[in-house]
Amino acid sequence: MPEPATLLSVRDLNAWYGESHALHGVTLDIREGETVTLLGRNGVGKTTTLRAIMGLVRKRTGEISFQGKDLMRMPLHLTARAGIGYVPEERGIFATLTVDENLILPPVVAQGGMSVEEIFELFPNLKSRRNSPGEQQMLAIARILRTGVKVILLDEPTEGLAPVIVQRIGELLVELKTRGMTILLVEQNFRFASKVADRFYLMEHGKVLSQFAVGELESRMNELHEVLGV
């Protein structure tokens, strides 16, 4: 069976915040339909990698391509319209709006996005609370699914959440994978990531140390313990 096509490709990505050099030659590939996790401690460049891909970090060099399109030369608003959705750690939910209003706020960028009815089937808790801001992390993910994006960049989705919600988000990510969604995940919760990801990139000091598949986790535990403390 042939390997799925590479959907998102990053080559020798460097990024700066002012004079601070945050990323040092990051290279990674995300294949269609897979979930890939960036692992690493706080401050190693995981979130910066997502932000640089989206164009939110403007001082950057290297190559970023999505379905053959050069994202480095693309204005920020067109990166989103190209088919990449970003769910930041702060989630970006508008507390003064209802669930319905939050869901329809982002523009639809391509065919194939979920209808509001499909979203409520996938997120039954949102349906029961549709006149309130709802569960913010679920709502942040649901809002992106309506737009028709092909790749979701998901930053620390389990941060600060109760175990029962963490479990539900894990089930949701597995379900999205079965539906063909491609996900690039930043996650410190190694045990959570090990249940949802196909491949991992291990980062330290703004660099990628190594990459490996989920089937290699056991053989990589010494390395993971040294870098992550797991």
Higher pLDDT, 163 or 63: 63
Phi, psi for 92 (deg, rounded to 5) = 70, 25
Contact 101, 94 (CB under 8 A): yes
CATH number of 6-228: 3.40.50.300
E strands in 34-191: 35-39, 60-66, 69-70, 84-87, 151-155, 182-186
58-86: buried (b, 16+ CB within 10 Å) or exposed (e) per residue? eebebebebbeeebbebeeeebbbbbbbb
Q: What percent of the chain has pLDDT over 90?
A: 56
Lowest mean pLDDT among 4-13, 22-31, 124-133, 220-229: 124-133
In percent, the amount of the chain with pLDDT more than 70 equals: 96
Of 135, 154, 134, nearest to 144 (Cα)? 154
Contact at 8 Å (CB) between 50 and 37?
A: no
User: What does the pLDDT read at residue 77?
Assistant: 81
Quick one: pLDDT band at residue 70, thresholds 50, 70, 90? very high
Highest mean pLDDT (candidates 41-50, 109-118, 139-148, 156-165): 41-50
Torsion angle defined by CA atoms of residues 144, 147, 148 and 153, in that order, rounded to the nearest 10 degrees: -30
- Taking the C-alpha atoms of residue 36 and residue 105, their distance in angstroms, rounded to an integer, is 27
pTM: 0.91
pLDDT value for 2 = 67
Q: Among 47-61, 104-118, 134-148, name the most confident range.
A: 47-61
